[in-house]
Structure 1
Amino acid sequence: MQELDEAVVDRAVALAQRADRVVLGIVGEPGAGKTTLTTALIAALEGRGVPVAWLPMDGFHLGDGSLDALGLRDRKGAIETFDGWGYLATLRRVLVEVDHPVYVPGFERTLEQPIAADRVIAPGPALVLTEGNYLLDAAAPWSLVREVAAEVWYADVPQGIRIGRLVERHVAFGKTRAKAEAWVAAVDEPNAERIRSRREHADLIVPIG
């Protein structure tokens, strides 16, 4: 479990107190540890009695059928392989639809496919954590995420560690090491450069060990 500075947890608690529903974005390059940070925050907040929910951007990956139709299967993970408008609409929904469950998609890494209605934002107050690659991107609709999220935090990790983790993840989910390294170089790293170029727009930089 990622060890969190108490000041980071305090800041998240303060955000949760702004309103019944507040969105906190966690952004970072592929392999940076966004999910690690998110799960650590959820555990810390639950330990303090703060209602919390999780809405992963990965659930808005286009399925393989759509990627094939668009000729984008070999670029899965790039910004154009996500349903950005659907993601934005769902973020807006969770802010206002507080009296009934809001079901949101998840992502199955073994299948590398989105799963509809895989998670639920329960009725009532919550700090909604949403993590993904492009929350700070300047292109629409991603640029509109800042209108929905109270803050966006950047998960920051040394590049060598990040790339090593990324290769190992691809290997763990079925690629040969050679194919994993080639995918990281050809697909993941151009995406990482795009994400990294927006780092200074984050409200907080959170080091990930």
Structure 2
Amino acid sequence: MNQQHVQDATVDQLVESARNLVVAGERRILGLTGAPGAGKSTVAEQLVTALGPDVAVLVPMDGFHLANEVLIELGRLDRKGAHDTFDDGGYARLVAAIRAQRANDPVVYAPRFRREIEESIGSSIPVPSEVPLVVTEGNYLLLESGAWPSARSCIDEVWFLSPDTDIRHTRLVRRHEAYGKSPEDASFWALGSDERNAQLIESTAVRADRIVRLR
């Protein structure tokens, strides 16, 4: 990643940038991406909370994790979180449906990933047509393979979050521990599978509308 293009910003500044995307009576979509542990979920939730439920709703990409039984059949369970362990086509179709929503259209329902059970729950996030901004976040919004480009074509802007690597690794280890992994297993995942995914994701940063380091 070319560090000279990284912009320092506060959450408050990102909230104002997100607010500037909002156009009454129109649907806009903002994407947040970055490597595992970059803070995507946290920042996305902060943006949506600050803007309020009448203005913004959060639709994470993680709801499109393939089910564990499918990953076992495909032989991919041991690298869950890699780009081919998601239903990229399903995500692209959902983003297109959200983009196409107009006033008085029916609610669109999105799935939600539950880390405590490591599975997705379908139709658990309502997206009302009158909410002007949808914030979506996930690892592979800028990947140029599969159905990811189709999803990207429906998103107005994608911001790449780029914290220092040590901070990102610490967050990942803590996250894995919080969901039941031993310190050894947490480090194994954070510096193994997660880091291999991170290298691929960071190679996509050049296609972001902006690269942001929070301060």
Give the shorter-chain TM-score range.
over 0.9
Q: Deviations along 1:121-173, whole A, 9 cap, x unmatched?
A: 01313200000000011112112222100000011211001001101110110
In 2, Cα distance between equivalents of 1:15 and 1:82: 28
1:45-56 equivalences under 5 Å are 45-46=51-52, 51-56=55-60
Instruction: Name the counterpart of 1:90.
Output: 94
Are the equivalent residues in 1 in contact too, given 2:63–2:113 (CA < 8 A)? Answer: yes
Q: Which amino acid aligns with 1:96?
A: A
* CA displacement at 1:53 relative to structure 2: 1.1
SS at match of 2:121: strand
Instruction: Name the counterpart of 2:212.
Output: 206
SS at match of 1:148: coil
Instruction: Name the counterpart of 1:159.
Output: 165
- Give structure 1 regions of 4+ aligned residues with deviation exceeding 6 angstroms: none
Q: Which amino acid aligns with 2:11?
A: L
Calculate the aligned-residue CA RMSD, in Å: 1.7
The count of residues paired between Structure 1 and Structure 2 equals: 205
Instruction: Name the counterpart of 1:11.
Output: 17
Are the equivalent residues in 2 in contact too, given 1:37–1:155 (CA < 8 A)? Answer: no
Select the residue among 114, 134, 146 that pairs with 1:108. Answer: 114
Select the residue among 125, 128, 132 that pairs with 2:131. Answer: 125
In 1, Cα distance between equivalents of 2:54 and 2:206: 29
**TM-score under structure 1 length normalisation:** 0.92
Instruction: Name the counterpart of 2:6.
Output: none
In 2, Cα distance between equivalents of 1:143 and 1:204: 17
**TM-score under structure 2 length normalisation:** 0.90
Q: Deviations along 1:91-149, whole A, 9 cap, x unmatched?
A: 00011233111111001111111111111101313200000000011112112222100
SS at match of 1:157: coil
Instruction: Name the counterpart of 1:80.
Output: 84
Q: Which runs of 5+ in 1 are unaligned?
A: none
Instruction: Name the counterpart of 2:27.
Output: 21
SS at match of 2:151: helix
